Structure formats: C-alpha cells, structure tokens
Structure 1
Amino acid sequence: MKQCSVCSKPAVYHVTVLKNGDVKELHFCEMHFHDYMEKPQAKSPEEAFVESLLPDSDLDERAAEDEQLICPNCGISYREFREKGRFGCPHDYETFRERLLPLLENIHNDTVHHGKSPKRAPLDSGNQLRLIQLRRDLTRSVEREEYEQAASIRDEIQKIETELENSDSE
C-alpha cells in the first residue's frame, strides 16, 4: 500500500500528472487529496501542492531517509517497500517499526494483532527466530575462529532446542 506523498497515512487517491512528456505519480490521503484539489495550479500540480505543505528540504530529507533505512537481513529499503507494498523478509517489521506503527494504526486502528493464529504455526515463533539468529552468529564465530564464543552460542542453541522439544511433547 502506498503512503501519502505528504504524510505517512495510507494513500487512497492516486493522481498521475503528465507534463512535457514527464509522468509523475502522486499519492494522497483523504485530507491531502482535497487540499490538492482546492489549490490553484500555479506551477505543476505536484510542485504547487507539495511546496505549499512542506519545504523542499523536508521532502528531500524524507526521501533520503527512506533510501537509507535498509533491512540488514534482506537488503530492502523502506523506499522499495513503499513502492512495491511488500516486505523482503520478516525482519522488515522490526527494521521499519517506527514508520510502520503509524501506518498500521491508520489502517487497522491498532498496532497489535488480536485475531486468530494459524494452527500449524510454532507455539513459540520468537524462539524460532532466536534460533535462526544464533545459528548465524555461530557460523560467524567459527569463521572468525572465536571458539569460546562459538561454544557459548552452541550451548544457548541446545538450551532453546530442548525447550522447544519439551513444549512440543506436552
């Protein structure tokens, strides 16, 4: 889902502006779309509206922040997420957390899931995620020949695996 070109709310109106062979897409929430439609079009529609709401430096700053906010796991940037509307991996929820919370609140009126969970989902997906991270850390420690650290990571992995096996058998 695209975000408003002016604020972080979900865009419900999408405008395509053609000028001198250039194609620009604008995305607006309800409020900013009505503001856009009421503004006189002195310059290009995009320039006139966006300039009236935010200085250029704020827009440039926001675009630069979107480009620099990158998931360390899959490498997707927040800008790519906004354009495609899809995440690259589950870690994106944590990486983009600050930007997602207002978006989720606007869409769902809440930031916590209160619905059903899949029956086949592991009971403790947090431990599953922790195992994945620990195994990656273990591999790095061995590659760096940090054997003491690798041993402590191995022990932690075994502890979590034992907890998971015990919870599965109950």
Structure 2
Amino acid sequence: MLCQHCQQQEAIMKLFITENGQTREVYLCENCAKKTQEVSFVFNPAIVPEFLQALFGFNSPAKDQPVETTCPKCGISFSRITQAGKLGCSTCYETFETQLEPLLRRVHGGGQNVGKIPARRGAALRNRVEQRKLKEKLQGLIQQEAFEEAAIVRDQIRQLE
C-alpha cells in the first residue's frame, strides 16, 4: 500500500487517529511518519529480535559456539525462533521441547493451561478444581507434618465430595 501522504513510497506504518470521537486509519511511509507531528516516535522493526531476546533472556550466539540443531521438517534453528518470536512448524514443538518448556513457563507463568470456567454451568468443574487444589495442599501439609491443619483440609475435601 502506498503512503497516503506522499503517494510515492510504500507505507510501513499504520496510525489510528481519533478526532472528535471519530477514528481513522492513516498509512505512512517512513519519511512522512518522521515529518508528521501526530507521531511522537517511529517504530523500528529491526529492534524487535533484540527486544524479544532481552525479554525472554536469550543472548546472541557467540561465533565459537557449536552448530545448533535445526528442525528436521522446516529447518529452523532455535536461535531463529527466538529472533522471530514464532515457531516454523508443528514439529518444532517436539524438536525444541527442552528449550521451549522453560521459556513458555517464564512467559505464561506455568506449564498448564487452566482457562476460564463458565459462570452458568461451571459448578462441577469449579468443584473439581477446588478439590484438586485442596488435595495438593493436603499433601504439602502432610510432608510438613502439620497434621492438625491437614485434618481440617481433609474434612474440607470430604465436604466437597
């Protein structure tokens, strides 16, 4: 798409401008985006890989490092995945499982998707989730030898069942 201002160069930026409650889209090339007063910064797509690497805690590979493995299906390497921020194919999940798991845990805060529970029909599911949490808590209390608190949690579990 051409720049809507100069009509000569390819647009690289899409702006949403809201005036008097009306929002409009404006497509600008880099030069026009730098000149316009509506933009307080210019997005540089070249910094995205470094930003993602810093966010996920990866450093650029050194020159003397050994050759890293690549996906047998699509040929992408793990360093390329961290630069691009996305995997090449479904086989990448299996190939890079050991490297992806800590990354996904750090990003998502855990290794299991818990999702949302429906408000109307989720009573049974909420009950099972509560039971599972209480059973985990009970195991921890037993390991800590806090038997009085464990008895209370055990009674709560029986009440839910």
TMscore range, shorter length: 0.3 to 0.5
TM-score where L is the length of structure 2: 0.33
Of Structure 1 and Structure 2, the greater helix share is in 1
TM-score where L is the length of structure 1: 0.32
Higher relative contact order (CA 8 A, sep 6+): 1
Q: Which has the larger radius of gyration?
A: 2
